[in-house]
Structure 1
């Protein structure tokens, strides 16, 4: 194993210190220790006139080693290394390439100057982990780029390119060629000219008080219950008012409060959960899926078009196939319109839209799927139809092509049985809108080969999705669990709760929309059709559909909508309809507080999640959390339903479920066996049963 920091002498008395902690140069304890020692050697060596900090590998540094969070802190800390740079008495220039994120960028902010390779991304994404930059980033960045620009970076967590950083004053130069050599040339010129390179700590943070106040107010408004964005805003404000040392002390206090809090623990849990989800049991680590050169999507509806956009967005030529020429053209036009809206919103340039549009083609001939490496069926949820299509795909697709269904509930094994190559068949369950939503449920059938599974996971990454492998059952993981929530939401209405009360409870919890507003957005007829296929009856929802209240598209659903507006307004007619249905069913009316509504909607999903785990449909409780955050808008800072349940305590989960089962007479609410067993021994869904001498 190589040394975490290597030193070499370049021309003009410049020492180059190269960080080398593969794969992404995290600032773990061994690297910090080695860097501290190397800097001290350079400081004591009269032959060293200046220092360049560079990195091996594909990036400067991805920042702190998160596995060290929550553990005893081992000096030197990052702030100690930065303080050493600032007091060394010799100029230090950071040579940036690839990415300089989090603590990696904070290390660079402590240097006298920064030289970046073209295209380098610089950012402070800590807010996405429920914390703020704790190595001085909230105090030094405002002094370099101004408080308003710093707040945009710190409060939003999104990186900027080297070119944008140069314009902002975050880097002093963007240079082609080897970053370390470019930084050496920059530093040598400064030394030769006697040009000062002032540290960030020696500057003040420029700002417009009114603009900064408005920016802080906007951050707080968007935070919606999240602690980290508000702490970021406060820390940046302090940078404009306090001397550096006082600001750093306040930053450290805010950081410590956040890192010990539940929200940061939840977000760090998800960070590792997403990486764990990529590990599929039984797949060799060295399995190498073949490249995807071309794709075909069957069905030009909303889902088919969205899936086709995913391929084109990833640079993969894709053919959309639909037997109905008019439907095909509507689908292709819808894709173009979606891209055009992105261009109008400033998130895509016209040239890139044109490139993507050129990758998209259409055909009314199923034989056009020949030559595709991946074929995705995305037609209506009808098993007989899907089986017929898979038989045709089997006949026409190239040998070795990956054959996938976008079904959200139906049996993958029955579709695979319609082919002579069931090992090549799996589910690729995209979520609507497919070109936006991040989750990709990869459904493993009984015959799905390991290579097909590996190809599905690799494809998910290629398309910019978060892939999670699940087993084959009705609804898989996502829809099976949310089905339990839907039944309880319906029951709450029958008991006297109103749509706006239920939705308000869930938005206060952190969801972007409540379940009834989501139903109106998707179309209540869509949900009704899915229930009919399952033989489920929701009297209130069915009565709304029968009355022609289909949601936003008809201007009336659970709510009413003014002409041309998507703003949901409570409708007295809905309250009357609910009361009428409840009277017909003989359901007693009563009031519900927010705690009961929240528990009635979430605990049944947790309960079903425990069953999913016990059946092996989900490999890990953390996989379920990843699914809910990326498919259904579960607030990431609450960690997912299984994390939330563990925080509540499984004994409490067990008892509350039993209470609601008795209250409603719904036997599906009886605590799942796994919850009962874990609660009895102090276990957890994420950690299982504690070993001897441990507590849950």
Structure 2
């Protein structure tokens, strides 16, 4: 767990707990013993603490959060380090995160390599730094910087850490840890963080709270972080530490922290293919082809280009190709203006792109992704052409959102090489990729698809073939019921408000406006058979026409539309429906519970590997609030009986095709979770 090396009068203590030097019970116990032993050794004048491998420490062992406390606590270890009469120096390389940084804060001095990152990301797990971080960090860097680090959870680089006083000196990578030992040797007295005073900069806390009110309004952890940091000004440090630990204990057992821990572990589980060994081989991917330079094709290409891969993008006309390439450059340059990319990164990415009208240019690609519109005949025609020119062993992927990968693969003589890679729009930003496993998809093709998605910074989830796969299939009952409730008496504002109050970034009708009301529309303005037809015939195609279910101003801010209200009234009257009051409870049941029900069917049919995979899809593809863990976790938390009873209560209104998922019925009767 730890190693110790004596360099004359400097004792080097090395945390060695691969892969991330997590501060589990064994490490804490060994550290405590090593610090105690060092105090009794007259030869030791200074103690140097660092991490083995590529980093200092990524912090606590999260698996311990749901277990009873064992052994020496991290606060006790840090207190012992801080109380040491012999100077203790933290030498940081790689990352020092969470409890790892708190350990360094308890040391008397801190060194870092120029590439190191330091942060307190506990808020992302629904908790606060519970080992002194909220009390010691403000004493080193001041209230403003401490609030920003702790409440955002974002790390800072070593140069910034030096400027703000978080570290005392930077040490070159090549000289580390030799230079750290040399620095430690010149120290003769501890410099304890607890002895420093926090500057009470009048109004900092109030201004920070006002500026971040909307972002943190429904989140427990950021509010607790602010309370704890405030205590660093108002209370002696021991009282502040006691308050911090009290707040930590309250948060760690709370619903939001449980949901965020679930999301953390769910993301890691999603990368594992249940029926394949981890060492299943992967095919080498060096060159990627993309068919279609539209919004999706361009966005998909941008991911690979930024990852340093050559991309050949094919279009049918020069105008479409030029528009697509220009949009890609414009998107890159917008990121550069915001400081997210350098000019050099933009130019390097664009230099890797080969735009062409020649379909045969895809012949030497290792992976080809088709990204044209949702038409089965068009896709089959493309895959038949690909089959004729793609090199042996090339992976052929479709970005389809709904259509059968098996049927698409049937257009080729190599169905084992075909899979789905369903990116979400905008593809250069959204993290989710549904990796769709066809009936004939080869094992190495599937594992390669997962690896490729991870290599470009995406979160991949395996899905089997059905209409809409995981996410869009669950979206269908939500949208169908939203449309139906408009005719029954609900307003777009009420339906969307229920979802935004729940924590979604937008409601179902706002989402339709964003994506385009005209998606799937038959384009015949004289054929008015549905509410969608009427809106589209009136030119209300969503945000792109500044009119959909809402009116939109120049800043895309929505406002209620009297025109839409008239269209809805007209449809309601023609259908012979009487307007009635619809409760928020009914909206929840018919739009959220129906999604859970569809998710249970997806599990029953083995479309998804596990319930937590469904949660990952909704967290990263549709903006499900992370502090609620995903639809399947949320359903378990509120009780499956609650869900099944809500569905039964409104079953006659949900739709003619509604049926309770057998898995949900069984699990709710047993009181269990919607997993298998």
1:89 aligns with 2:80: no
Which string of whole-angstrom CA distances, capped at 9 and with x for unpartnered residues, describes residues 3-47 of structure 1? x01111013x00001111111111110110111111110111111
Shift of 1:178: 5.0
8 Å CA contact 2:87–2:187 kept in 1: the answer is: no
* Alignment match, 1:575: 565
1:609 aligns with 2:606: no
* Alignment match, 1:339: 332
Query: 178, 184, 191: which is aligned to 1:181?
Result: 178
State the secondary structure of the residue aligned to 2:474: helix
8 Å CA contact 1:490–1:538 kept in 2: the answer is: no
Query: 485, 489, 494: which is aligned to 1:492?
Result: 485
Shift of 1:538: 7.9
* Alignment match, 1:9: 6
Query: 512, 520, 523: which is aligned to 2:516?
Result: 523
8 Å CA contact 1:582–1:588 kept in 2: the answer is: yes
1:329 aligns with 2:318: no
Q: Counterparts in 2 of 1:264-413, with a 5 A limit?
A: 264-413=257-406
Which string of whole-angstrom CA distances, capped at 9 and with x for unpartnered residues, describes residues 594-619 of structure 1? 22222221011100101000000001
* Alignment match, 1:676: 665
8 Å CA contact 1:52–1:180 kept in 2: the answer is: no
Which string of whole-angstrom CA distances, capped at 9 and with x for unpartnered residues, describes residues 456-491 of structure 1? 110111010000001011110110011111001111
Q: CA-atom RMSD, angstroms?
A: 1.7
Structure 1 CA distance, aligned partners of 2:388 and 2:589? 50
Structure 2 CA distance, aligned partners of 1:69 and 1:522? 40
1:61 aligns with 2:57: yes
* Alignment match, 1:692: none
Of 198-207 and 398-407, the range deviating more from structure 2: 198-207
Of 508-517 and 635-644, the range deviating more from structure 2: 508-517
Structure 1 CA distance, aligned partners of 2:230 and 2:346? 39
Structure 1 CA distance, aligned partners of 2:519 and 2:621? 17
8 Å CA contact 1:16–1:180 kept in 2: the answer is: no
8 Å CA contact 2:283–2:444 kept in 1: the answer is: no
Shift of 1:537: 10
* Alignment match, 1:249: 242
1:644 aligns with 2:640: no
1:666 aligns with 2:655: yes
State the secondary structure of the residue aligned to 1:469: strand
Q: 1:668 to 1:155 in 2, by over 3 A?
A: farther
1:542 aligns with 2:533: yes
Query: Which residues of structure 2 form unaligned runs of 5+?
Result: none
Structure 1 CA distance, aligned partners of 2:614 and 2:595? 10
Which string of whole-angstrom CA distances, capped at 9 and with x for unpartnered residues, describes residues 205-224 of structure 1? 23522233211222332113
1:618 aligns with 2:615: no
Structure 1 CA distance, aligned partners of 2:496 and 2:335? 29
Structure 2 CA distance, aligned partners of 1:295 and 1:666? 44
8 Å CA contact 1:390–1:415 kept in 2: the answer is: yes
Query: 622, 639, 656: which is aligned to 1:632?
Result: 622
Shift of 1:576: 1.7
State the secondary structure of the residue aligned to 1:550: coil
State the secondary structure of the residue aligned to 1:90: coil
8 Å CA contact 2:461–2:613 kept in 1: the answer is: yes
Which string of whole-angstrom CA distances, capped at 9 and with x for unpartnered residues, describes residues 127-165 of structure 1? 111111111111111111111111111111111111221
* Alignment match, 1:23: 19
8 Å CA contact 1:116–1:179 kept in 2: the answer is: no
Which string of whole-angstrom CA distances, capped at 9 and with x for unpartnered residues, describes residues 219-269 of structure 1? 332113111111112222221222111111111111111111100100100
Which string of whole-angstrom CA distances, capped at 9 and with x for unpartnered residues, describes residues 56-101 of structure 1? 1221111111111021111310000000001121111111111111
8 Å CA contact 2:481–2:654 kept in 1: the answer is: no
Which string of whole-angstrom CA distances, capped at 9 and with x for unpartnered residues, describes residues 270-325 of structure 1? 10011111110222222242442211111000000000001012111211111211
Shift of 1:669: 3.6
1:510 aligns with 2:506: no
Q: Which TM-score applies when normalising by structure 1?
A: 0.94
State the secondary structure of the residue aligned to 1:470: strand
Shift of 1:671: 1.8
1:553 aligns with 2:544: yes
1:114 aligns with 2:103: no
Q: Counterparts in 2 of 1:423-434, with a 5 A limit?
A: 423-434=416-427
* Alignment match, 1:693: none
Q: Between Structure 1 and Structure 2, how many residues are aligned?
A: 673
Structure 1 CA distance, aligned partners of 2:6 and 2:529? 75
Shift of 1:366: 0.8
* Alignment match, 1:694: none
Q: 1:263 to 1:528 in 2, by over 3 A?
A: farther
State the secondary structure of the residue aligned to 2:650: helix
Structure 1 CA distance, aligned partners of 2:589 and 2:147? 36
8 Å CA contact 2:85–2:190 kept in 1: the answer is: no
Of 203-212 and 398-407, the range deviating more from structure 2: 203-212
State the secondary structure of the residue aligned to 1:190: coil
Structure 2 CA distance, aligned partners of 1:384 and 1:527? 16
State the secondary structure of the residue aligned to 1:645: helix
8 Å CA contact 2:371–2:398 kept in 1: the answer is: yes
Structure 1 CA distance, aligned partners of 2:28 and 2:528? 61
Structure 1 CA distance, aligned partners of 2:106 and 2:658? 56
Structure 2 CA distance, aligned partners of 1:668 and 1:225? 36
8 Å CA contact 1:115–1:182 kept in 2: the answer is: no
Of 436-445 and 173-182, the range deviating more from structure 2: 173-182
Structure 2 CA distance, aligned partners of 1:520 and 1:206? 49
1:215 aligns with 2:208: yes
8 Å CA contact 1:130–1:227 kept in 2: the answer is: yes
Query: Which residues of structure 1 form unaligned runs of 5+?
Result: 689-696
8 Å CA contact 2:143–2:204 kept in 1: the answer is: no
Query: 433, 439, 451: which is aligned to 1:446?
Result: 439
State the secondary structure of the residue aligned to 1:441: strand
8 Å CA contact 1:340–1:353 kept in 2: the answer is: yes
1:654 aligns with 2:644: yes
Of 429-438 and 674-683, the range deviating more from structure 2: 674-683
Q: 1:538 to 1:262 in 2, by over 3 A?
A: farther
